[in-house]
Amino acid sequence: MKVSVDGGSLCASKNRQYGNYRFSYDLLTSLSKFDNHNSYNIYTFCNQLPELNEDRFKLRQITPPWGFMPYRVGIAEITKKSDIFLALNQSIPIFTKGKVVAFSHGLAFYYFSKLYSEAIAMLNNQLKAMLRKADLIIVSSSKVKKEFNEIAPDFRNVVVIPFGISQDLLTIDKKRQKDKFLMYVGMDHPIKQIDLIVIIFLSAKRKTNRNDWKLLLVGVSKKYENKDLSIFVEPFLERDQLIKLYQKTSGLITSSLYESFNLPVLEALCCGAPVVGLKSAVIPELQKYVIVAKNSEEFESKICLLMTNSLPPKPKINKKLFSWENYVKKLTSLY
């Protein structure tokens, strides 16, 4: 089959190469590795592509990027005879001849619209177009499928496929000495409750007398940095640097009000780091591997246990359940 792909998120600047970028990168490299039957036409507005099979993967660069999706890709699709269109970034082109497989990365904007005031109109329009035009919607958690069933009960074609573990995490050393610091990894957005992480870390540090412990916030603004309080910020890290920190940290902490997957949780677990998170920040598929807190008070108490090395052990991540090879098999079976 001939498959067209929205690869726009691959053009993210270095300091924004998380989330959608990581998903698109891992999916395309996995399709290149595990799908030997279909050919792919990838629309982008840059040259930032992963290494792909050149025989089956072709780049269609559209510049300038203004109106890339849904307009300019839709216009380009008029002359293409695509069997499938993979809408990786929730936006649907104005036209395509192919079956539309849309990927929803969650409905945080729907349930917490006040936190998305600048983008809420665009996000709502994307959701409406997805429900109207998509033949199939792929989500990463049963939680998101349940939400779609609640808000759009007439749309029946929602399929759950959990993300896979990135290839660069499958063979790493998990037995490194853990250093005295905790990590947050993710975007700088109010829904992530970064202020709460800072407050609870400082309180837990005081209650446990762990004055030499540090908090490292990755992916956020320098406004959160306070070296006098041992709070450090890295707005962006290269992939190899991030993996080394996952290996060294004593734990990842997450307090988001909403998550549809939370890739840093999976990445940290793969690197042997324990994870403590609010229940709202951990999807059901990952909760058995994570120390889950029901509220902020319990969140703080579990971080105290983490800092004193008193947490009960959790099962190791099941790599077969979170496999990109399985993801590709399930996805291509839906073409």
* pLDDT (0 to 100) of residue 270: 94
pLDDT the model gives residue 265: 98
Residues in contact with 227: Cβ distance below 8 Å, sequence separation at least 6, in sequence order = none
Find the helix or strand (DSSP H, E) in which 41 lies. Answer: strand 39-44
Task: Reply yes or no on whether the pLDDT at 218 is more than 80.
Answer: yes
The full DSSP string for 115-127 is: GGTTTHHHHHHHH
**Are the beta carbons of 24 and 57 closer than 8 angstroms?**
no
Task: Tell me what the mean pLDDT of segment 94-122 comes to.
Answer: 96
Q: Is the pLDDT of residue 176 over 90?
A: no
Contact (Cβ atoms closer than 8 angstroms) between residue 91 and residue 10: no
Query: Where in the chain are all domains bearing CATH 3.40.50.2000?
Result: 2-164+323-332, 167-307
Residues 178-207 as b/e (b if ≥16 CB within 10 A, e otherwise) read eeebbbbbbebeebbbbebbbebbeebbee
Helix (H) or strand (E) holding 87: strand 84-87
User: 273-314: per-residue pLDDT in tens?
Assistant: 999 999 999 999 999 999 999 999 999 999 999 999 999 999
pLDDT digits (tens, 9 = 90+) for 19-33: 899 999 999 999 999
For residues 93 and 70, give the distance between their C-alpha atoms in angstroms, rounded to a whole number. 4
Token pair listed for 181: 């610091």
The type of residue at 85 is F
* Mean model confidence pLDDT for the chain: 95
pLDDT at 174 over 80: no
User: What is the residue-wise DSSP string for 258-313?
Assistant: --S--HHHHHHHHTT--EEEEGGGS-GGGGGGSEEESSHHHHHHHHHHHHTT-PPP
pLDDT of residue 49: 80
pLDDT digits (tens, 9 = 90+) for 199-209: 999 999 999 99
Average pLDDT for residues 42-55, to the nearest whole number?
A: 89
Query: In this predicted model, what pLDDT tens digit does every residue of 101-113 receive, in sequence order?
Result: 999 999 999 999 9
Residue 236 has pLDDT above 80, yes or no: yes
Preceding peptide of 70 cis, ω within 30°: yes
Give the three-class secondary structure for 185. strand
Residue 158: name the closest of 130, 193, 189 by CA: 130
Instruction: Supply the pLDDT for residue 50.
Output: 85
pLDDT at 13: 85
Quote the pLDDT of residue 319: 87
In the chain, the amino acid numbered 180 is K
Average pLDDT over residues 57-62: 94
pTM of this prediction exceeds 0.85: yes
pLDDT at 15 over 80: no
CB under 8 Å to 17, separation ≥6 — which residues? 236
Mean pLDDT of 117-144: 96
* Banded model confidence at residue 42, pLDDT cuts 50, 70, 90: very high
What class does CATH assign to 2-164+323-332? alpha beta
Confidence check: pLDDT of 173 > 90: no
CB within 8 Å of 55: residues ≥ 6 apart = none
**How far is CA 138 from each of CA 10, 193, 317, 331, rounded to the nearest angstrom?**
19, 27, 23, 9
- Name the more confident of 175 and 106: 106
CATH topology of domain 167-307: Rossmann fold (3.40.50)
Has residue 61 got a pLDDT over 90?
yes
Q: What is the model's pLDDT at position 19?
A: 87
| pLDDT at residue 55 tops 80 | yes
